[in-house]
Structure 1
Amino acid sequence: MIIREWRGRASLNDLERYPVHFRTTVVPELRRLPGFVGAHLSQRRLADSIEFLVLARWRSMDAIQAFAGEEIDEAVVEPGAVAALLDFDAKVQHYEVIEEA
């Protein structure tokens, strides 16, 4: 299994917009894709913003490539997410799961 990590930051005055977008748009779209296993959305408060962390689980790098395209390290950020965030990572990180408890 592969974990795909991505982060975005939002205004403290707009805390719910990205989680709503994630729940109502991102997750339903991802669930339709072969090889998608699941995702976690987490948050932490920074000094002047909130940071969201998305950890998406995929069966293989091939499944990620089918989702993200040839440049698998490029973030896939929908217009709704762009509108909800102050800024976000343009690149993602991939981790191979070697143990799960």
Structure 2
Amino acid sequence: MIARIWHGVTAAVKPDEYLDYRAAEGNRGVYVLRRIEADRAHSLTVSFWEPGANTVKLAGPDPEKARYCPGDEKFLLDFEAGVEHYEVVAEP
């Protein structure tokens, strides 16, 4: 299993409007960690994926490059360049 870790920043007044990874094909689960700092909500998204093609479908040809969707500018205050992938070697 692959863990995909992404950090995003939204306005603190509407952090829950930018959350849904669960519907994507190949997704095995997601944790969203949040920290509020003044008027910003930092979300660290750790999503879990089947290795191989399903991760590529989400990430595109360069899986370490952050991929944004139309409409993201309504929510995100920053657009980070990358994401990280880790192989999951222990599970609960």
TM-score (norm. length: structure 1): 0.75
Letter in 2 for 1:22: L
Partners of 2:66 and 2:80 within 8 A in 1 = yes
Match of 1:6 in 2: 6
CA distance in structure 2 between the aligned counterparts of 1:27 and 1:80, rounded to whole angstroms? 18
Question: Which ranges in structure 2 are unaligned for 5 or more consecutive residues?
Answer: none
CA distance in structure 2 between the aligned counterparts of 1:53 and 1:3, rounded to whole angstroms? 12
Structure number with higher helix proportion: 1
2:22 to 23, 27, 30: 27
Provide runs of 4+ in structure 1 moved above 3 Å.
none
| Aligned-pair CA distance for 1:7 | 0.7
CA distance in structure 1 between the aligned counterparts of 2:77 and 2:5, rounded to whole angstroms? 18
1:96 to 81, 87, 90: 87
Question: Which ranges in structure 1 are unaligned for 5 or more consecutive residues?
Answer: none
TM-score (norm. length: structure 2): 0.81
Match of 1:73 in 2: 64
Aligned pairs, how many? 92
Instruction: State, as a whole percentage, how many aligned pairs show the same letter.
Output: 30
Q: Compared with structure 1, are the counterparts of its residues 49 and 20 closer, same or farther at alpha carbon in structure 2 (3 Å cutoff)?
A: closer
RMSD of the TM alignment (CA)?
A: 1.9
String of CA shifts for 1:26-85, please: whole Å, max 9, x gaps.
433x1xx1x221212221123552201111100104321122221111112223333201
Match of 1:42 in 2: 33
